[in-house]
Amino acid sequence: MTPILHNYLVVGSVLFVLGAIGFLTRRNLIIVVLCVEMMLQGVALNLVAFGAYHRSFSGQVFTIMMLTVAACEAALALALVLALYRRQRTLDVSVWQTLREPEVEPEVEETPPEEPPPPPPEFPRLTPAGLEPKSNQAEEAAHV
Amino acid sequence: MSDLDVALRIVPALPLVGSILTAFLGNRLLGSKSHLPVVVGLAGAVLFSFMVLVEAPGSGRISTSYDFVDLGNLHINVVLRADALTAMMLVTVNLVGFLVAVYSRGYMAGDPGYARYFAELGLFVFSMSMLVLSSNFLLLYVFWEAVGLCSYLLIGFWYERPSAAAAARKAFLVNRIGDAGFLLGLMLMWTTFGTLDYDGVFRQVEQADPATLTAICLLLFTGAIGKSAQFPLHVWLPDAMEGPSPVSALIHAATMVTAGVYLVARSTPLFVASPTAQLIVAGIGGFTALLAALMALTQFDLKRVLAYSTVSQLGLMFLALGAAAGQPKLAEFAVVAAVFHLFTHAFFKALLFLAAGSVMHAMGDVIDMRRFGGLRRLLPWTHALFLVGALALAGVVPLAGFWSKDEILAAVHEASHGPYPGFFTVCYYTAVLTTFLTAFYTFRAYFLTFWGEERVPEEAHGHAHESGWVMLVPMALLAVGAALAGILFGPTHLFAEYLGKTPIFATHGEEHGLNWTVMMTSTLAAGVGIGLAAWLYVLSPSLPERLRRSLPGLYELSSNRFYLDELYGVLFVGPATMLSNFCRLFDQYIVDGVVDLVGWVPGAVGRVFQTPQNGLVQYYALATTIGLAIFLVFVVLTLRG
Amino acid sequence: MLSPLLASWLTSLRDVGLVLLPLAVGMTALWLLLPQARPRQVLISAFIAGTAALLVGGLVLLRGTGPDVPLLFDVLFWVFALLAVASGVAMIVQRNPVYSALWFAQVVLSTCGLFLLQAAWFLAAATVIVYAGAIVVTFLFVIMLAQQTGLAPYDRQAREPLLACIAGFALLAALQYAVSTAGKTSPDTVQVFAQPRQLPKVQQVLEEVRSRVKAGESPDDTGKLLYLQAAQPESFVGNILFQLAETLPPKERKQERDVCEAANAKISRARLTENAEMMVEGLDQLLALSQRLELRFGKSPLSRLREPHVASLGQSLYGDYLWAVEIAGTLLLVATVGAIVIALRRQEEAA
């Protein structure tokens, strides 16, 4: 196995596992779906690397198919996320645990302590420059 | 197919059809008319069985219906057989069955189980008909069990009563012991003769080993002991009186209990070839006759008195059946005597039970003779009919019991001139003593019930009354039989001639004239018995009490039925209960424990794996991730080999 | 005395340890970075992550890169790879979903760079358009539709970060183990696929056999030399050339395959009949083919970049995989309809 293929495979697997960890840990529905997309990216990298290794276009064709499926999946997943959001007005995954066994206690998430509000954004301010315009009164007075 | 073939099939078929109709339509459609199919069927069966009676004896006809068992060289067909013995039994069964069914229409009216009662009654008559019609021992055994089942069902007819349920169970279990012996006998017979057909077996009797033959006879006799309530398996019959009175009359007096007598009579060729077996039959019969008569002396339950009397009379029949020991020439006479007594006994004992049922009906289901008395004015018809039955049972000239019992005594007397004079002399005097006791206890019951001061229990609610015609007419017909059956067939030898045509008797003995000595003896015994009963219970009613005080041991012994039930309880029931308790505990804690464990394990595993099922997809994905890692490592390791 | 099995186990244990160490360090950093109830220790985490990166770099130096990879490719690869992994980490640890989506776009762009290095030009462009252009934008729209003001509690609190990191570590370790041992798997699967770098060896063998046959040696005996590995049918030089011809663009593919098949048939017939003339003829044909292939593939990966990739990809896509393309198109249509149906606000809901 050429080192170059090996390296691509390593990067692909790292992306895949990072996506998996994100899928496991994040509670925001949208981020969960994003993580799935990242896992798909890892897989796509693997396919392309193998395709190049075998000098075959099959890998790329397969990746194109995957791209198609990923697009479908993203569209459907986001539609579902929207539908779910409309139901509960939250993106929290923990809301959706009604499929648990009846005997099992529902998982209650500990609410993290309230963070201090972020400091108000500092917008750049231009230092005052040039002459201060004359007051209208003086002008009016001059007219008069 | 001749007329006889048709008749042979119709006789059992009619009660069966009636029974099935009643069983399926009874509760919904027929209601209080549930008796109709069975009564009509039985009436037809009576007519056809008379036809069989007329046509059968000459033919010894065998009529195959269909193959029942066809295994290897074991061919058992449902073969109906018509000969004199069968025809006689058929007439008895169907006639008494019909009369009892008519009587039951009045007796059972209004009972919630009315339809069930008639369905079971029809089933019983069918089974009993098939029992006597069957042409091989296996079929006989099948219907032997079927009548046992009907008996069980009808004893436990009022199953909500604990005593009735217990009595039914007792009857069933005690019968099982006898039936097990019967079954073993059949197996031994099969291995010895290779066939279970009557004719096939009887043809090979000559070649058989005497010891094996004796064993077969004794095993068959075990079955007879159970079914016919002989010592030591007699304990179920008195308890069986928990069933309705007509059932007691039909099954536990007239027909089913005589199946044992029928079996031994049917197997005459076997028994004739084994004097040992015959001696044992006679011995047990005689002993039972005396023992049951002694027990009957002190009972206060009217139906129990009659039940012990039945046991006693059956004992006399067995005594007669065994009387031909060592004298093959005597066999025909002895067997005819036994079957003749069976025939007459069916009439007068059924009559007595029906009369007792009539008394019970009037007394609000009270049957204890201490609680009523002097009923002869209140129930004049019942009184008269009971008197006829009692006289017949006691053996008073010229009623039926006299002639048949006389023949038994004559046969035993004859036997005492044979190779076993001592044994049969004892038997003879036992029989005479039994005759005396029979007369005594029968009239004791009669006097206690119908004479003396008029007393009626509260349960009758003050409207104790004579039974209706529907009950009285069957009783009257039975009374006619009880009165005339003896004198018509006995001294005229009609019965003996007819039965003699049965192909079970190898040698025909000489005509037996009337034995005047025996007749005088038995009449004397009966007369003394009746006189003693009249003296004790009518003329000086305080005497029995004083007698009881002066002979406490004997009295207690008799009234407690010689403590045989208790003895069985200690000897058999106790250990069996202990064993079954052990089995129950074993089943409960070991077997059930294992089964419960098998059921518990999936539940426990499920509970363990239920915890992660919290509905959050991410936990599932976590498990998937770890599983994927393990799987990958496994695959790579496998590929590396 | 160690048994060979145990020795091999120890060797692989050392290899595994070398891979596991940077993985473990990287996972620790990730765990510290994931949103949790306690305040984030960015400095410590960054330090640990840097350590992990250094360890990976050390590992790479230790192993060395391939001989035929030019430095430019190597550098570009490492830049894109580092960018992709770092953006991935940033994406999953970001508490603000908008930032997450933007980091994801960064991941996609870096991946596209890697695609370019693999000569997948069309794919790189398509991915940028589809992912960065369409999907990420859709995500941002949905975030806008559903986002609450400020950081929601569920964004500030990750679920079971430690457990997830351990599971991820286990999976990644297993994947690395699989990737690194795949080349050493059972000998049957080794060298199933022909490589262009085998071409010089192939030519050398062909020429040697040709000269020997011409010198009068038996074609059948010398024919045995035509196997790169003794008695391995798949290492027959004719087969290697055939497999390489298979990877050509469709137009040339057919022609070269036919040539190769004819030559192979000729050689096997010549070996059977001991026909030296025919043997030389076949060998000449194969030699010519191998020279054409060498020209075609070139000696460096750079030469591949000069090939008409998009055209070849299109031929493959609409030639070999036409049905799959049609089905994928149908799938897209169905998904569009489905997404509209699901996301559509229903009348009663709106009311």
Of B616, B625, B639, the CB nearest to C171: B625
Please identify which residue in the block is written with the tokens 């009548």.
B147
Q: What letter would DSSP give residue A28?
A: B
With an 8 Å Cβ cutoff, is A41 touching chain C? Answer: yes
B408-422 pLDDT tens trace: 888 888 888 878 888
pLDDT of residue C188: 43
Banded model confidence at residue B348, pLDDT cuts 50, 70, 90:
confident
Of A24, A103, A105, the CB nearest to B622: A24
Of A11, A45, A75, the CB nearest to C336: A75
Q: Which two tokens stand for residue A102?
A: 């009846």
Share of chain B above pLDDT 90, in %: 4
* Predicted confidence (pLDDT) at residue C345 exceeds the cutoff of 80: no
Sign of dihedral through CA atoms B324, B329, B335, B336?
Answer: negative
Looking at chain B, which residue has its C-alpha nearest residue A93?
B616
Mean pLDDT of chain B: 83
Residues with Cβ < 8 Å from C4, sequence gap 6 or more?
none
With an 8 Å Cβ cutoff, is B590 touching chain A? Answer: no
Q: Which two tokens stand for residue B392?
A: 């017949």
First-to-last CA distance in chain B? 84
Helices B400-415 & B516-534 angle (0-180, nearest 10): 130
* Predicted confidence (pLDDT) at residue A46 exceeds the cutoff of 60: yes
Banded model confidence at residue C186, pLDDT cuts 50, 70, 90:
very low
Per-residue pLDDT averaged across B47-54, rounded?
Answer: 84
With an 8 Å Cβ cutoff, is C99 touching chain A? Answer: no
pLDDT of residue B637: 80
Question: Helix %, strand %, coil % for chain A, to 5?
Answer: 60, 0, 35
* Predicted confidence (pLDDT) at residue A5 exceeds the cutoff of 50: yes
Q: Which two tokens stand for residue B557?
A: 């012994």
> Of the CATH numbers 1.20.120.1200, 3.40.50.720, 3.30.70.260, 3.90.600.10, which one belongs to the domain with range C4-182?
1.20.120.1200
Nearest CA of chain C to the CA of A142: how many Å?
52
Verify whether the Cβ–Cβ distance A104 to B622 is below 8 Å. no
C325-343 pLDDT tens trace: 999 999 999 999 999 998 8
> Rounded CA gap, B356 and B246, in Å?
10
Instruction: Please report residues of A whose CB lies closer than 8 A to that of C105.
Output: none
More confident site: C320 or C326: C326
Banded model confidence at residue B90, pLDDT cuts 50, 70, 90:
confident
Banded model confidence at residue C348, pLDDT cuts 50, 70, 90:
low
* Predicted confidence (pLDDT) at residue A73 exceeds the cutoff of 70: yes
Which residues of chain B have a Cβ shorter than 8 Å from any chain C Cβ? 616, 618, 622, 625-626, 628-630, 632-633, 635-636, 639-641
Q: Which two tokens stand for residue B553?
A: 């041991």
* Predicted confidence (pLDDT) at residue B320 exceeds the cutoff of 80: yes
Instruction: Please report residues of A whose CB lies closer than 8 A to that of B616.
Output: 93-94, 96-97, 100, 107
* Predicted confidence (pLDDT) at residue C55 exceeds the cutoff of 90: no
Which of left, alpha, beta for C231 (phi over 0: left; psi -120 to 50: alpha)? Answer: left
Instruction: Please report residues of A whose CB lies closer than 8 A to that of C339.
Output: 75-76, 78-79
DSSP string, B259-318: HHHHHHHHTHHHHHT-HHHHHHHHHHHHHHHHHHHHHHTT--BHHHHHHHHHHHHHHHHH
With an 8 Å Cβ cutoff, is C244 touching chain A? Answer: yes
pLDDT of residue C189: 41
With an 8 Å Cβ cutoff, is C9 touching chain B? Answer: no
> Rounded CA gap, C297 and A134, in Å?
78
> Rounded CA gap, B375 and B456, in Å?
8
Residues with Cβ < 8 Å from C106, sequence gap 6 or more?
C83, C87, C90, C91
Could you tell me where the DSSP H helices lie in B572-641?
574-585, 592-610, 617-640
Per-residue pLDDT averaged across B21-50, rounded?
Answer: 83
Verify whether the Cβ–Cβ distance C185 to B635 is below 8 Å. no
Q: What letter would DSSP give residue B35?
A: H
Banded model confidence at residue C193, pLDDT cuts 50, 70, 90:
low
Q: Which two tokens stand for residue B128?
A: 């009993």
Per-residue pLDDT averaged across C265-289, rounded?
Answer: 85
Q: What are phi and psi of B69, to 5 degrees?
A: -125, 130
> Rounded CA gap, B90 and B99, in Å?
14
Tell the CATH topology of C196-299: Four Helix Bundle (Hemerythrin (Met), subunit A) (1.20.120)
pLDDT of residue C86: 92
Q: How far is CA B342 from CA B182, B457, B584, C110, in A?
A: 21, 35, 44, 113
pLDDT of residue A17: 94
Verify whether the Cβ–Cβ distance A94 to B614 is below 8 Å. no
| Residue C301 CA from chain centroid, whole number | 14
**Of the candidate ranges B189-198, B205-214, B572-581, C303-312, the one whose mean pLDDT is the lowest:** C303-312
Q: C10: burial class by Cβ within 10 Å (0-12, 13-18, 19+)?
A: exposed
- In one-letter notation, the amino acid at residue C184 is K
Q: How far is CA A62 from CA A44, A49, A94, A134, C127, in A?
A: 8, 12, 35, 71, 13
* Predicted confidence (pLDDT) at residue C303 exceeds the cutoff of 60: no
Q: How far is CA C239 from CA A129, B265, C34, C232, C285, in A?
A: 81, 101, 52, 11, 14
Q: What are phi and psi of C153, to 5 degrees?
A: -60, -35
Q: What are phi and psi of B29, to 5 degrees?
A: -100, -50
> Rounded CA gap, C92 and B635, in Å?
30
> Rounded CA gap, C115 and C120, in Å?
5
Closest CA to B83 of B107, B104, B63: B63
Sign of dihedral through CA atoms B416, B420, B422, B424?
Answer: negative
B616, B622, B625: which to substitute to probe chain A, counting the most A Cβ within 10 Å? B616
Which of left, alpha, beta for B462 (phi over 0: left; psi -120 to 50: alpha)? Answer: left
Nearest CA of chain A to the CA of B608: how many Å?
11
- Tell me the residue length of chain A: 144
Q: What letter would DSSP give residue B571?
A: I
- Identify whether B398 is preceded by a cis peptide bond (ω within 30 of 0): yes
Longest C-alpha distance within chain A, in Å?
A: 93
Q: B568: burial class by Cβ within 10 Å (0-12, 13-18, 19+)?
A: middle
* Predicted confidence (pLDDT) at residue B1 exceeds the cutoff of 60: no
Tell the CATH topology of A3-91: Helix Hairpins (1.10.287)
Looking at chain B, which residue has its C-alpha nearest residue C179?
B636
Q: Which helix (H) or strand (E) holds C275?
A: none
- In one-letter notation, the amino acid at residue C243 is Q
If one counts every other C-beta atom within 10 angstroms of the C-beta of residue B517, the result is 10
Banded model confidence at residue B66, pLDDT cuts 50, 70, 90:
low
Which of left, alpha, beta for B17 (phi over 0: left; psi -120 to 50: alpha)? Answer: alpha
pLDDT of residue B374: 79
Q: Which two tokens stand for residue A137?
A: 């009164």
More confident site: C41 or B51: B51
| Residue A105 CA from chain centroid, whole number | 31
- Tell me the residue length of chain B: 641
> Rounded CA gap, B348 and B361, in Å?
19
More confident site: B358 or B62: B358
pLDDT of residue B71: 63
Of B613, B614, B618, the CB nearest to A24: B618
pLDDT of residue C77: 87
Q: What letter would DSSP give residue B75?
A: E
* Predicted confidence (pLDDT) at residue C190 exceeds the cutoff of 50: no
Looking at chain B, which residue has its C-alpha nearest residue A22?
B618
With an 8 Å Cβ cutoff, is C303 touching chain A? Answer: no
> Rounded CA gap, C57 and C37, in Å?
33
Q: Which two tokens stand for residue A86?
A: 């409309």
Closest CA to B437 of B403, B395, B388: B395
pLDDT of residue A21: 93
User: Which chains have at least 3 CB atom pairs separated by less than 8 Å from chain B?
Assistant: A, C
Domain boundaries, chain A: 3-91
> Rounded CA gap, B614 and B622, in Å?
13
Q: How far is CA C250 from CA B252, C254, C316, in A?
A: 103, 7, 7
- In one-letter notation, the amino acid at residue C312 is S
pLDDT of residue C67: 53
Give counts: helices (H), strands (E), chain B. 27, 2
Q: How far is CA B260 from CA B121, B276, B385, B544, C218, in A?
A: 20, 18, 28, 36, 107
C203-258 pLDDT tens trace: 888 888 888 888 888 888 787 777 776 656 667 788 888 877 777 766 777 888 88
**Cα within 13 Å of Cα(B301), Cβ side:** 15
Per-residue pLDDT averaged across B341-350, rounded?
Answer: 88
pLDDT of residue B67: 63
Instruction: Please report residues of C whose CB lies closer than 8 A to that of A53.
Output: 193
Residue ranges of A 4-43 with Cβ closer than 8 A to chain B: 20, 23-25, 32
Asked if B454 contacts B374 with a C-beta cutoff of 8 angstroms, the reply is yes
Per-residue pLDDT averaged across C88-108, rounded?
Answer: 91
> Rounded CA gap, B85 and B57, in Å?
8
> Rounded CA gap, B120 and B20, in Å?
9
> Rounded CA gap, B323 and B412, in Å?
6
Please identify which residue in the block is written with the tokens 């001639």.
B497
Q: B381: burial class by Cβ within 10 Å (0-12, 13-18, 19+)?
A: middle
Q: What letter would DSSP give residue B161?
A: S
B196-245 pLDDT tens trace: 888 888 888 888 888 888 998 999 999 999 888 888 888 888 888 888 88
Banded model confidence at residue B502, pLDDT cuts 50, 70, 90:
confident
pLDDT of residue C127: 92
B616-629 pLDDT tens trace: 888 889 989 999 98
CA angle B462, B464, B466 (to 5 degrees): 160
- In one-letter notation, the amino acid at residue C76 is L
